[in-house]
């Protein structure tokens, strides 16, 4: 029986993780749940899984959460301090599935407590990869990736000599807009961009998939997770979303992890690791799939991966600026305040305006994040 603390329980990853936990009642129990603002859903989840603690990120919503949990015996908390508290509290696995850089401080709290962390949100590693990985090593924490692409790489590297790795190949579906012209991209609505052809995900990551920023963020994430230089990490467009990533070795061999486009597989793998638990869904049928295709990405139409790589190469607090600008731009696009092509334009403008801090502290990274959000918000207001 493994005890699980789930940060981000009301999001797409969180809901699917609870489905996995529910399928294995003899293997997992929930100790704590956390969400940003969906009080009613969080309270229902906490009651259904008999959690000891429920945390709402927005402190103003604490009275509402307490009322929703009245008589349950479940402790209700709120705010960043409470998120850090449950992330560090004793449990077997902390599933970190909060959206965006907001998950950075709870992630660090879990690492400092030496926890096993199933990492589902890449933004903390993008914004503060050096600090996160140094903390993981210093406190002997364990990091298991949950996102399908780094999970695939993690699985392919099991039992392998890391010195024999020549390249990591991260696959991308290309999102809902991969075949559109620049003129068509300029007219794309949020509703159209959210129609992902193969995956069912939350809105932020779905837009990141459409801009290909998700692949840029995953390149940075893989660099920190696996210690592979940026020059040895490439992106491949793979529309079928069956091959989730590949590892190329020095002898020319490639290992790949294949599966249906469902997050339940990598979630279940991370929660059960090192054991592989049986699945209860239809298996992948390659004969029915028929063919798998691959192509190089078009960085002229989709510049976000190149912007992400440039930010990573610049180093320091630049990736934090990249991530903050992208989060603000995506939120504005989803709110119909800017156009689709304004997303990379705003990110590039923020990177151009940034003054590098080469070896930033956590406080400096958080300050760069906040300043970038304010700056990009001002630019969006001008538009």
Domain range annotation of the chain: 2-145, 148-259+283-299, 315-383
Q: In what order do the strands lie in the sheet with 116-119?
A: 75-78, 53-56, 28-35, 2-7, 93-96, 116-119, 142-145
pLDDT of residue 176: 86
Pick the CATH number of 315-383 from 1.10.1740.10, 1.10.357.10, 3.30.750.24, 3.30.360.10: 1.10.1740.10
Per residue of the chain (383 residues), give pLDDT as tens: 999 999 999 999 999 999 999 999 999 999 999 999 999 999 999 999 999 999 999 999 999 999 999 999 999 999 999 999 999 999 999 999 998 889 999 999 999 999 999 999 999 999 999 999 999 999 999 999 999 999 999 999 999 999 999 999 999 999 889 999 999 999 999 999 999 888 888 899 999 999 999 999 999 999 999 999 999 999 999 999 999 999 999 999 999 999 999 999 999 999 999 999 998 888 999 999 999 999 999 999 999 999 999 999 999 999 999 999 999 999 999 999 999 999 999 999 999 999 999 999 999 999 999 999 999 999 999 97
- 203: which 2 tokens? 């809105």
- Residue 206's alpha-carbon distances to 59, 161, 177, 194, 198, in angstroms, are 28, 34, 11, 6, 11
Cα distance between residue 6 and residue 276, in whole Å: 20
Task: State the CATH class of domain 2-145.
Answer: alpha beta
Q: How many CA atoms lie within 13 A of 382 on its CB side?
A: 8
Cβ-proximal residues to 149 (8 Å cutoff; 6+ apart), any chain? 170, 171, 218, 222, 244, 245
Does this chain's domain 2-145 share its CATH topology with 315-383?
Answer: no
Cα distance between residue 289 and residue 259, in whole Å: 11
| Contact yes or no for 26/52 (Cβ under 8 A) | no
Cα distance between residue 46 and residue 273, in whole Å: 24
């Amino acid at each position: 029986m493994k005890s699980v603390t789930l940060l981000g329980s009301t999001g797409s990853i969180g809901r699917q993780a609870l489905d996995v936990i529910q399928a294995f009642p003899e293997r997992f129990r929930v100790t704590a749940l956390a969400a940003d603002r969906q009080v009613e859903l969080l309270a229902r989840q906490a009651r259904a899984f008999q959690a000891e603690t429920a945390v709402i990120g927005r402190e103003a919503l604490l009275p509402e959460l307490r009322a929703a949990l009245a008589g349950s015996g479940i402790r209700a908390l709120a705010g960043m301090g409470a998120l850090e508290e449950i992330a560090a509290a004793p449990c077997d696995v902390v599933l970190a599935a909060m959206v965006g850089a907001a998950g950075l401080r709870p992630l660090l709290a879990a690492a400092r407590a030496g926890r096993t962390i199933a990492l589902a949100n890449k933004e903390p590693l993008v914004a503060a990869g050096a600090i996160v990985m140094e903390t993981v090593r210093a406190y002997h924490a364990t990091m298991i990736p949950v996102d399908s692409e780094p999970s695939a790489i993690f699985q392919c590297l099991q039992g392998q000599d890391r010195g024999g790795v020549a390249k990591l190949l991260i696959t991308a579906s290309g999102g809902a807009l991969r075949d559109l012209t620049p003129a068509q991209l300029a007219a794309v609505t949020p509703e159209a961009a959210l129609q992902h052809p193969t995956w069912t995900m939350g809105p932020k990551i779905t837009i990141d998939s459409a801009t290909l920023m998700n692949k840029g963020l995953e390149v940075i994430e893989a660099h920190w997770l696996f210690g592979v230089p940026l020059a040895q990490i490439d992106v491949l467009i793979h529309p079928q979303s069956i091959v989730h990533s590949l590892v190329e070795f020095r002898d020319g061999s490639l290992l790949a992890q294949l599966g249906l486009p469902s997050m339940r597989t990598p979630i279940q793998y991370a929660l059960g690791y090192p054991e592989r638990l049986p699945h209860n869904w239809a298996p992948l049928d390659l004969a029915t799939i028929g063919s798998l295709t691959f192509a190089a990405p078009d960085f002229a139409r989709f510049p976000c991966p190149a912007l992400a790589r440039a930010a990573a190469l610049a180093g320091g607090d630049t990736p934090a600026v990249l991530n903050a600008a992208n989060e603000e731009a995506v939120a504005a696009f989803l709110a119909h305040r800017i156009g689709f092509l304004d997303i990379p334009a705003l990110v590039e403008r923020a990177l151009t305006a940034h003054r590098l801090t080469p070896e930033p502290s956590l406080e400096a990274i958080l300050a760069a994040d906040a300043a970038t959000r304010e700056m990009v918000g001002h630019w969006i207001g001008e538009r």
